[in-house]
Amino acid sequence: MNLKESIIELAHSIGISKIGFTTADDFSYLEKSLRLAVEEGRNSGFEHKNIEERIQPRLSLASAKTIISIAVAYPHKLKQQPQKTAYKRGKFTPNSWGLDYHYVLQDKLDRLARGIEELTADFEYKGMVDTGALVDTAVAQRAGIGFIGKNGLVISKEYGSYMFLGELITNLEIEPDQAVDYGCGDCNRCVEACPTSCLIGDGTMNARRCLSFQTQDKGMMDLEFRKKIKTVIYGCDICQICCPYNRGLDNPLATDIDPELAHPELIPFIELSNGQFKEKFGMVAGSWRGKNILQRNAIIALANANDRSAIPKLLEIIETSQNQIHIATAIWSLGELIREVTPDLVDLLTSLKKPSPAIIEERERFFQKFQHQISHN
């Protein structure tokens, strides 16, 4: 068995779904689109900032010759649904079910690297998961893991687009794999299904318009996006749900999944303290953005779920919260849920002390919406 075959066997033994090999040559073709995305303000801001490092693997490892790309498949359907309770539930998208995929992938990359060290001498490498310099999707495509779809995700026949990606830049000399011979063809479903028209259609996007970005961005969520997130409090996978390659998939578990964390009860989620949030949700991928932003999303989700039982909780947030964004968002959600405006509610909103610009804007929008009722009270 040669080195490549041994590495492939090792990868499968530690739960890596797909493995591919490519040269450590530059990804020069990416430079134009990466710079254009910066110039046009289409980046999320979470990307690696140095474009040279994104396209030149040898800036990360001087001795680089081969990049080993790995994919770990994950499921997009819960095997077990959460219990029915009195509360409406929100949703984390599948990439945030179970243990944070950064830990899952890092563990598999570490085990792969240790195994390769036993197979060959003088092994040098640098591992990357998501937050590294290289563009994971470009590496995976060139290594034959799958193709980059119009939704910007790597898609394989075996696992669709539900794959976590990572890579080892190495000094090994291994024969590279070929890119896959299939793709999107004329299919345009993801581009048409995207509720914010963020997909450009060539595998790139305006990341700032992506609903996944909107659930992670700070401050007030723009009015345009609030109803579009529905009850999702982290992520978006509409462009995956509609993809023909994902139809009928039954991907293996990458990690154990607690359905109560995948679809949390909204009102109890909003009530979590920092300590409770870290204890309960700290090990899921979506937790990196912190409690406050996700709770803002949950406040929006209450309105989108038409949960009128949440009205007392929204009033409590407006009256007692120290978080200006939560107060402003609660005013919007309240405006979506209530049918009648009482004088007490008008008094509550007008008597808010030192309201932020966001609160003032949402309060004015609220008063305008119910202007007819308020003028007749």
Tell me, what CATH number does 15's domain have? 3.40.109
Tokens of 73: 């498949």
Instruction: Give the pLDDT score at 48.
Output: 85
Residue 1 scores a pLDDT above 80: no
Identify whether residues 159 and 227 lie together within a single domain: no
Instruction: Give the pLDDT score at 15.
Output: 97
Instruction: Give the pLDDT score at 132.
Output: 86
Residue 372 scores a pLDDT above 90: no
Is residue 318 within 8 A of residue 327, CB to CB? The reply is yes
Instruction: Give the pLDDT score at 68.
Output: 98
Band of pLDDT at residue 130, cut at 50, 70 and 90: confident
Residue 113 scores a pLDDT above 80: yes
Band of pLDDT at residue 323, cut at 50, 70 and 90: very high
For residue 272, is it within any domain? yes
Number of Cβ within 10 Å of residue 348's Cβ equals: 14
Identify whether residues 197 and 329 lie together within a single domain: yes
For residue 267, is it within any domain? yes
Is 130 noted as a catalytic residue in this protein?
yes
The residues near 62 (Cβ < 8 Å, ≥ 6 apart) are none
pLDDT average, residue stretch 201-229: 96
Identify whether residues 112 and 228 lie together within a single domain: no
Q: What percent of the chain is modeled with pLDDT above 90?
A: 92
Residue 224 scores a pLDDT above 90: yes
Identify whether residues 237 and 364 lie together within a single domain: yes
The terminus-to-terminus CA distance of the chain in angstroms comes to 84
Residue 38 scores a pLDDT above 90: no
Instruction: Give the pLDDT score at 37.
Output: 86
* Beta strands, E only, the chain: 18-23, 66-73, 91-92, 125-128, 147-148, 154-155, 163-170, 232-234
User: Is 110 in a helix, a strand, or coil?
Assistant: helix
- Range with the poorest average pLDDT among 128-137, 149-158, 272-281, 293-302: 128-137
Tokens of 296: 């803002």
For residue 17, is it within any domain? yes
For residue 112, is it within any domain? yes
Domain that holds residue 71: 3-75+94-170
Query: Mean pLDDT, the chain, as a whole number?
Result: 96
Instruction: Give the pLDDT score at 126.
Output: 97
Instruction: Give the pLDDT score at 43.
Output: 80
Tokens of 197: 């028209």
For residue 89, is it within any domain? no
Tell me how far apart the alpha carbons of residues 97 and 172 are, in angstroms, rounded to a whole number.
34
Band of pLDDT at residue 376, cut at 50, 70 and 90: confident
Identify whether residues 153 and 202 lie together within a single domain: no
For residue 82, is it within any domain? no
Identify whether residues 331 and 222 lie together within a single domain: yes
Instruction: Give the pLDDT score at 47.
Output: 82
Count how many Cα atoms sit within 13 Å of the Cα of residue 291 in the half-sphere of its side chain: 16
Catalytic residue among 130, 217, 250, 347: 130
Residue 56 scores a pLDDT above 80: yes
